[in-house]
Amino acid sequence: MCAQNDVPASIAEHSSPTLSAARPPSSAAPSGRIRGSDDECLDWLWRDLYAADGVHALCDRCGTVRGHHRVTGRRAFACDSCGAHVYPTSGTFLESSRVGLSRWFRAVTLLVDSDGRAPAKRLALELGLSYRTALRMRSRILKARRERGEQETLVLRIYDSMGSGADRVVRTDRRAAGSPQATQTMERIRAAACKTFARHGLVGTRVADIAAEAGVSTATVHHYYGSKERVLLAALEWSGEQADAKAMRIRRETSDHLEALRRILLWYIPREGDLRDHYRLWLDVWVASERHPELMRSCAAMSVSWQESVRQLVIEGTGSGTFRPVAPAAEIAKRITSMMTGLCLKTTVGYEAWGPDQTVAVLFWFIAEQLGLPPAALGVHVPASQWPVDRPQAHADADGR
């Protein structure tokens, strides 16, 4: 699912950045709706093009992700370690202009709202500029729109961040998502995002990296998903769907509830490769959800779905006489999935040199106890003298109500 690859190209200090980092969801810009100050507009560009969290970005000189800080008196951010400067406007239609960024952003809004028909005279009057300056700004923005590439994408992201045009973006996405070709493209993006995020993490991944992996333009990624955080969530959903499909195949291959449970649990425990990458995505989504609460709501929905699958297996196994659960099926499912998530994340990060075999031993012991089974039933060979002395009575409420 998510193979390991090389580290992405670093961001050059003064070179043109890729205009592809996350366009904010229509409900919020990277740091909220832009209110109008030049500093706020610069911060928006910095977050949108380089540092999703406003601090950490790739430093070309250091060759790794570093913390950065604003350079006083310049439209630049400097690496905390080596001091190399990054100019968010470099390589954009905003480059080398003495006009304040707030006026540029306002000019974008005026031109997009008017579908490019607002004359330079109107821009000059509303922005308090000379006619010649307004004419040059208008020419740059319209040229960026005509290029139909990353410059146009930046124009539209700025427009959206100013609180206009969000409905248009949402409607376009919904129309596009209905066609078979769009569905295939979205699947390629999700699969590519899974690989890229697992390889570089949330901070080190740019939308341009995902687009290159998927073989599409950055504008296409933004069109379907809107922001890097939403692509991350889509990648996690894609990875989860692959794991769920495997679990369904296992259920079809055997009618033995104990064997099905054992094989599914072994499948979900992260070793090298796909499942380890799946848990890495979970970690990134949880970190991102601090700034994007809607991600946590989506995570909760996925967790509920996973719990329901386990609950159903417990109900069926109890009905067949295989399991003797010590609590209602819903509670057992919650306990199993919670324990499994914690141990698997511990395995993924290698905390205290914790490995998959340790996870198997602890998890299978716990599940056997919850289902009223001897540990050896799941393949964990533990001496009978070490079994719990007072095993609780099996819970008769098999349907979990």
CA–CA separation, 30 and 44 (whole Å): 6
Q: Strand 85-86 vs strand 77-79: parallel, antiparallel, or unpaired?
A: antiparallel
CA–CA separation, 277 and 273 (whole Å): 6
Residues of the chain short of pLDDT 70, as ranges, are: 1-36, 148-149, 163-180, 272-276, 292-295, 297-298, 301, 380-401
CA–CA separation, 345 and 280 (whole Å): 8
Burial class of residue 326 in the structure, from the number of CB atoms within 10 Å of its CB (0-12 exposed, 13-18 middle, 19+ buried)? middle
Per-residue pLDDT reduced to its tens digit, 248-303:
888 888 888 888 888 888 877 777 655 567 777 777 777 777 776 666 766 776 77
Q: Strand 56-59 vs strand 77-79: parallel, antiparallel, or unpaired?
A: unpaired
CA distances from 206 to 90, 93, 156, 189, 375 (A): 17, 20, 18, 13, 46
CA–CA separation, 84 and 122 (whole Å): 40
Per-residue pLDDT reduced to its tens digit, 80-120:
999 999 999 998 999 999 999 999 999 998 888 887 888 99
Instruction: Round to the nearest angstrom and report the end-to-end CA distance of the chain.
Output: 37
Instruction: Tell me what pLDDT residue 24 has.
Output: 35
Q: What is the pTM of this model?
A: 0.48
Q: Which domains does the chain have, with CATH numbers?
A: 38-175 (no CATH), 249-386 (1.10.357.10)
CA–CA separation, 398 and 384 (whole Å): 27
Instruction: Tell me what pLDDT residue 294 has.
Output: 64
Ramachandran class of 197: left when φ > 0, alpha when ψ lies in -120 to 50, beta otherwise: alpha
Are 136 and 120 in contact by the 8 Å Cβ rule? The answer is no
